[in-house]
Structure 1
Amino acid sequence: MRVVVFSVLLFFITNYTFAQQRQYSTTDREAIKYFALANQSLDDHLYDDAIGNLQKAIEADNKFVEAHAVLGDLLRQMRNYKASIEQFHKVIALNPEFNRAVYLKAGEMEISNAQYELAQQHLEKYLTYPNITAQNTYYAQKLITDCKFSIQAIAHPVPFKPINLGPEINTEADEYLPVATADEATLIFTRKINNNEDFYKSDKLNNKWQTATYLSDQINTPQYNEGAQSISQDGKYLFFTGCNRPDGLGRCDIYIAQKKGNDWGKPFDLSPPVNTTGWESQPSISADGKTLYFVSNRKGGYGGYDIWKSSLTEKGWGEPENLGPNINTIYDEQSPFIHPDDSTLYFCSNGWPGLGGKDLFMSRLGKDGKWQKPENLGYPINSSGDENGLSLTANGSYAFFSSNNLNGFGGFDIYTFELPPNLRPKLVTYVKGIVNDAKTKAPLEAAVEIIDLQKNTAVYQDYSDATQGDFLATLTAGKDYGLNISKSGYLFYSANFSLIGHEAKNPYNILVLLEPIEVGNKVILNNIFFDTNKFDLQTESIAELQQLVSFLTVNPTVHIEISGHTDNVGNDQLNQTLSENRAKSVYQYLISSKIAADRLVFKGYGKTQPIAPNTTEDDRKKNRRTEFKIIAK
């Protein structure tokens, strides 16, 4: 910082202090003596001494314009904005035409102090001077845009009632960058103690956060900083930033760690092309785990720090793609958070119109697959200072953030607040399941796949936990989904469920009991669909049929009977024929998929084997089904 301070101070000093033949605005010898001493202190990088000498020069002659100007710029660089503004105002009052740069610097500081009307006046005055560089003209115009936006934002505030998460999480140290799992059962955040950043976690019991504990010796280190993390929705994978580690590629790299039981495995550095010899940080992983958003200053960007994304391929993480000019500016964009709806991005920026420093923004993914121009989250969520590190709950109603301006327990504390409805993402909920052995009830590690039935594409693919058998997936509300679960040595599980009209705040819970491959065991193919009174397979059935093909391919000795069933409505003979034709349609699909015909038989049972009373439409729907049964293994 000190080198930066000195170099920027030359902006004023070279203009009107070191020219020995210059006629100062004062003739007071004492004032000039202290001013010369201040210049010497600046040469020696003794900035506190420089401030003291400049103050003495002003005490000797309060109309010493040059001393006020240099002191104002020095205080600006030391981030003492209020005192800096006072000095710039003295310069303008003493000599309005002393130096045009005073108006630019004063405007910049006044924005930082939320004095937007005054800042706009000074910036517009600055632009009246001739021969201003294109870069400074652009910057001044940008600041004027910020002023105009800020005046309107303050006149139309958004609801904002931050709530401190309490002493279980917040301490006298700094706590920041909070992220929660989809079920809001676990919160992971960074705590800074003795200038060392480590991860801590808190679990929620009975709707109350418990006392935070050290995350893991596998991830945290005593000599390096860990921060800027992203937790997968099920809490099993942690992406985070590690800097200056011996196994890193650049100054800061992105690492990933996987949860192992109650602890975490050793993290590893993501290989190129995600990490480079440059600076990669602040990861955010999509709900399906297939897209990683992060910040980098690599070549090919629009400004200093840009937001990029990399997609997971069969060969690993693909070549990163810049999010483009609708997100990134010539300034800095950081702290991305991709919501589980996979179409709403939150981030901070000092490039888009804001209230000063870095503001929080939101962008939605358009129908064309491109990010739309971002929307400022508004005042007082944003202020004249820096806001960053926002994350949301899966249901999108509440946000987490950190602040040191709200009279907390000390330093930065973590808060939550209800997000205004117009700033919320799409409604999502989560499916939470447990997979057990049907006989022993022991938890199983099984492949879990959830299909968007309308698009016939997988929206979740992972494994249930080996020790607890659980899995969790966030899903967009208002859609129909298919669920397939498979494990070697077991029949696969098939189900479908609808989140149309489902309360997004309530999870969809499911217990799955996998049956071992034994003669006589059955599987209901819940994702095989037919039109009413027809036997042509609907396209939504393809994913399920392919699951059955895979099962038969992996288990080449298994023989099955495919059976069709109906409810008791209508003519018995027609129902019998319909059930047989539906079973035959599945049989023919399997043969067309290279499954040997001698391993397959099909049969229609009509209404003769109900699994529920035919007294309600829901029960009759259960009876209208397609099954397969193991007849040999």
Structure 2
Amino acid sequence: MKRLFAILLLCVPMLMQAQERSYSTANKTAIKQYTRARQSIDAQQYDEAITQLKLALEMEPNFLEAHNSIADLLRLKKQYKASIEHYLKIIAINPQFNRAVYYNLGDEEVNIADYTNALTHLQTYLSYPAITPEKRQYTEHLIADCKFSIEAIKHPMPFKPINLGPEVNSSYDEYFPVVTADEGELIFTRKIKNNEDFYHSAKVKGKWAGATYLSEYINSPQYNEGAQAITQDGEYIFFTCCDRPSGLGSCDIYVAKKNGDSWDTPFNLNTPVNSNAWESQPSISADGQTLYFSSNRKGGYGGYDIWKSTLTDKGWGTPENLGPNVNTPFDEQSPFIHPDDNTLYFSSDGWPGFGNMDLFISRRGTDGAWQKPLNLGYPINTSADDSGLSLNANGNFAFFASNNLKGYGGFDIYTFEMPVSLRPKLVTYVKGTVKDAKSQTPIAATVEIIDLANSRMVYQNTLNEQGHFMATLTSGKNYMLNISKQGYMFYSENFSLAGDTSKKQFLIDVPLQVIEAGNKVVLKNIFFDTNKFDIKAESKIEMQKLIIFLAENPKVNIEISGHTDNAGNDVLNQTLSQNRAKEVYQYLLSQGVPQNRLTYKGYGKSQPIAPNTTEDGRRQNRRTEFKIISN
């Protein structure tokens, strides 16, 4: 947007000025052709005008006005090298013909990545007096791009893009790729005859299968759907649609939920996320609580800015601008928030780069604020527009679209290994199916994952009858998993990733037991220091889940039991297990659970659930349980 405006601002007046002064030639035949070309330009018949200007130059090779007009037209048609030839010809004939030639020439040289010559010509233009503030801002910005690019090219980043192949790409345009956390599904936008729709491909034995139409409930023949984001489990899709009757502005953000193998009808997010402006290119955080998007709504720093809206009990909150460490007086678009929730990728033509839209990374600081962005470097970024980047959950591979890499036609989708310095924090995922413990059939349930350090919910979902769930987990943290369903005992699991640097995925089957006397649950998120029975603070979250379970099932009476491994003195183990069970019992009493519904007992090493021959087995045996006594 910035570059197009600058072209219209600087080169169209040139065409007008030529009508108001004497020409650089006395050749009347050449002037006649030039006059015809001006008439064609007024009628927006640019190809005809170029033909007429070429005839004028055949008659008078040094006809400066004809060189200038044809250069401007070729510039508008993005025929950069041909345009540059004519601007250089003007300078060779008369360096003082028109100072705007130096700006136009420098701008075109940026487009073909000739940054050294561009810098020279832009600095020459800036040396002229009485340049308007707006033109000076454009020029200074391009000079900063040139200086940055000259140095960045000396230090290229590793970059080996791989085309995803004919199963995904076609002779049409494919772009805006996003994948689920397990990389099992790819969803992207395909443009056919100026209509944008969503397609998806499943990964089968490490390869992408043939892409298919996503859903007739989301795609439409009369409107464009594109620029989408999906939750890490692939259950929700946020996307852009323009000019729908339900829209508030030119483009709005919509959301739809997966329903088995199909999708529900999407709905408009409405205010305050959408407005009468342009809202597009959503990206949803891993916990589903923060929506990032690009908009040209009022209150920003430039044309298009990146904003965020946070989900509250009352719905999506008033959007907040990400501020001057991300947004500039120019354009920022295509945000992608990685599942680590601390790394943001986006495109911008405002920060120093290679001349047009470049890809940047910004990391969240310890104070929670976004830090000033870093250009992803050369050759990931080029002098062309580079945008629409996404990453897998591991952060080691990126996906993007390009029409410059000799693909299958138009824009194709590629992947490449992200340089280590540009990767987000290490993220893995947990993926599972909830089943009835007896019948082993999948069941619907509520799944919650909580960051134990701050009690923050990082994932919450009510599953459908297929019982599948998937969520991302960031390294360096400890998480609690709780799965519940009415009429069943809850399920407890712990994922300890503090200090973990592995990429191990957690694949689990979750057997939910019906509420029945004798059934047990291991409380895997109740913690004690070694050989002590004081309950650690992070255990309170799990015990609150137990309190809620008892409140929802008032006829249930339980026994709290403590267990140890076989290491150490048997008497001490027995005493330790008894004291630990008693601590949980007393906490429940302190929270209002009636005493007649609770008992406690320590079993020491007498009831192992795993062999004590390995550290993992001993860890499993050191546990706190609750058992249904009656219901």
TM over 0.5: yes
Amino acid in the other structure paired with 2:333: Q
CA contact (8 A) 2:6 2:138 kept: no
CA contact (8 A) 2:110 2:146 kept: yes
CA contact (8 A) 1:199 1:227 kept: yes
Q: Describe how 1:427-442 pairs up with structure 2 within 5 A.
A: 427-442=426-441
Partner of 1:415: 414
Q: What are the superposed Cα offsets for residues 177-203 of structure 1, whole Å, 9 maximum, x if unpaired?
A: 111111111111111111111111111
Q: Which moved more, 1:74-83 or 1:511-520?
A: 74-83
Q: Describe how 1:352-431 pairs up with structure 2 within 5 A.
A: 352-431=351-430
Partner of 2:109: 110
Partner of 1:351: 350
- Work out the CA distance in 1 between the residues paired with 2:471 and 2:363: 21
Q: Describe how 1:511-526 pairs up with structure 2 within 5 A.
A: 511-526=509-524
Q: What are the superposed Cα offsets for residues 304-349 of structure 1, whole Å, 9 maximum, x if unpaired?
A: 0001111111111111111111111111111111111111111111
4+ residue stretches of structure 1 with deviation over 4 A? 1-9, 500-504
CA contact (8 A) 2:10 2:100 kept: no
CA contact (8 A) 1:587 1:600 kept: yes
CA contact (8 A) 2:115 2:149 kept: yes
Tell me the CA shift for residue 4 of structure 1.
9.9
Q: Helix, strand or coil for the counterpart of 2:336?
A: strand
Partner of 1:331: 330
- Work out the CA distance in 2 between the residues paired with 1:329 and 1:75: 30
Q: Describe how 1:187-202 pairs up with structure 2 within 5 A.
A: 187-202=186-201
Q: Describe how 1:423-502 pairs up with structure 2 within 5 A.
A: 423-464=422-463, 466-500=464-498
Matched residue pairs, number? 629
Q: Helix, strand or coil for the counterpart of 2:73?
A: helix
Partner of 2:609: 611
Is 1:599 matched with 2:589?
no
Partner of 1:14: 16
CA contact (8 A) 1:145 1:353 kept: yes
Partner of 2:559: 561
Instruction: Please point out which of 569, 586, 589 is paired with 2:587.
Output: 589
Q: What are the superposed Cα offsets for residues 218-251 of structure 1, whole Å, 9 maximum, x if unpaired?
A: 1111111111011111111111100101111111
Partner of 1:306: 305
Tell me the CA shift for residue 39 of structure 1.
1.9
Partner of 2:100: 101
Change in Cα spacing, 1:10 to 1:164, as seen in structure 2 (3 Å) is: closer
Q: Helix, strand or coil for the counterpart of 1:601?
A: strand
TM-score (norm 2): 0.96
Tell me the CA shift for residue 430 of structure 1.
0.7
Q: Which moved more, 1:290-299 or 1:502-511?
A: 502-511
Partner of 1:212: 211
CA contact (8 A) 1:395 1:504 kept: no
- Work out the CA distance in 1 between the residues paired with 2:400 and 2:604: 59
- Work out the CA distance in 2 between the residues paired with 1:68 and 1:612: 85
Q: Describe how 1:101-250 pairs up with structure 2 within 5 A.
A: 101-250=100-249
Q: Helix, strand or coil for the counterpart of 2:153?
A: helix
Tell me the CA shift for residue 507 of structure 1.
1.4
CA contact (8 A) 1:169 1:202 kept: yes
Q: Helix, strand or coil for the counterpart of 1:436?
A: strand
Q: Helix, strand or coil for the counterpart of 2:581?
A: helix
What RMSD over aligned residues (CA atoms) do the two structures have, in Å? 1.8
- Work out the CA distance in 1 between the residues paired with 2:53 and 2:384: 28
- Work out the CA distance in 2 between the residues paired with 1:571 and 1:65: 100
Structure 2 gap ranges (5+)? none
Amino acid in the other structure paired with 1:202: S
- Work out the CA distance in 1 between the residues paired with 2:250 and 2:490: 47
- Work out the CA distance in 1 between the residues paired with 2:381 and 2:328: 19
* Identity %, equivalent residues: 63
- Work out the CA distance in 1 between the residues paired with 2:563 and 2:592: 25
Amino acid in the other structure paired with 1:233: Q
Amino acid in the other structure paired with 1:14: M
TM-score (norm 1): 0.96
- Work out the CA distance in 1 between the residues paired with 2:533 and 2:8: 80
- Work out the CA distance in 1 between the residues paired with 2:192 and 2:521: 55
Amino acid in the other structure paired with 2:19: F
- Work out the CA distance in 2 between the residues paired with 1:36 and 1:530: 90
Tell me the CA shift for residue 467 of structure 1.
3.3
Partner of 2:622: 624
Q: Describe how 1:47-62 pairs up with structure 2 within 5 A.
A: 47-62=46-61
CA contact (8 A) 1:456 1:542 kept: no
CA contact (8 A) 1:6 1:42 kept: no
- Work out the CA distance in 2 between the residues paired with 1:118 and 1:4: 19
CA contact (8 A) 1:5 1:74 kept: no
- Work out the CA distance in 2 between the residues paired with 1:174 and 1:387: 15
Q: Helix, strand or coil for the counterpart of 1:54?
A: helix
- Work out the CA distance in 1 between the residues paired with 2:452 and 2:334: 33
- Work out the CA distance in 2 between the residues paired with 1:598 and 1:103: 89
- Work out the CA distance in 1 between the residues paired with 2:109 and 2:567: 77
- Work out the CA distance in 1 between the residues paired with 2:608 and 2:481: 23
Partner of 2:40: 41
- Work out the CA distance in 2 between the residues paired with 1:113 and 1:453: 52
Q: What are the superposed Cα offsets for residues 41-77 of structure 1, whole Å, 9 maximum, x if unpaired?
A: 2222222222222222222211111121122112212
Q: Helix, strand or coil for the counterpart of 1:155?
A: coil
CA contact (8 A) 1:225 1:242 kept: yes
Tell me the CA shift for residue 282 of structure 1.
0.2
- Work out the CA distance in 2 between the residues paired with 1:385 and 1:5: 16
Q: Which moved more, 1:524-533 or 1:578-587?
A: 578-587
- Work out the CA distance in 2 between the residues paired with 1:134 and 1:271: 38
- Work out the CA distance in 2 between the residues paired with 1:384 and 1:6: 20
Partner of 1:67: 66
CA contact (8 A) 1:6 1:45 kept: no
Q: What are the superposed Cα offsets for residues 261-284 of structure 1, whole Å, 9 maximum, x if unpaired?
A: 011111111121101111100001
Amino acid in the other structure paired with 1:539: A
Tell me the CA shift for residue 400 of structure 1.
0.9
- Work out the CA distance in 1 between the residues paired with 2:260 and 2:398: 28
Instruction: Please point out which of 500, 519, 530 is paired with 1:532.
Output: 530
- Work out the CA distance in 1 between the residues paired with 2:612 and 2:360: 54
Tell me the CA shift for residue 366 of structure 1.
0.9
Partner of 1:251: 250
Structure 1 gap ranges (5+)? none
Tell me the CA shift for residue 500 of structure 1.
5.0
Amino acid in the other structure paired with 1:479: K
Change in Cα spacing, 1:5 to 1:454, as seen in structure 2 (3 Å) is: closer
Q: Which moved more, 1:584-593 or 1:298-307?
A: 584-593
- Work out the CA distance in 2 between the residues paired with 1:10 and 1:175: 34
- Work out the CA distance in 1 between the residues paired with 2:326 and 2:526: 42
Q: Helix, strand or coil for the counterpart of 2:282?
A: strand
Change in Cα spacing, 1:9 to 1:119, as seen in structure 2 (3 Å) is: closer
- Work out the CA distance in 1 between the residues paired with 2:433 and 2:273: 34
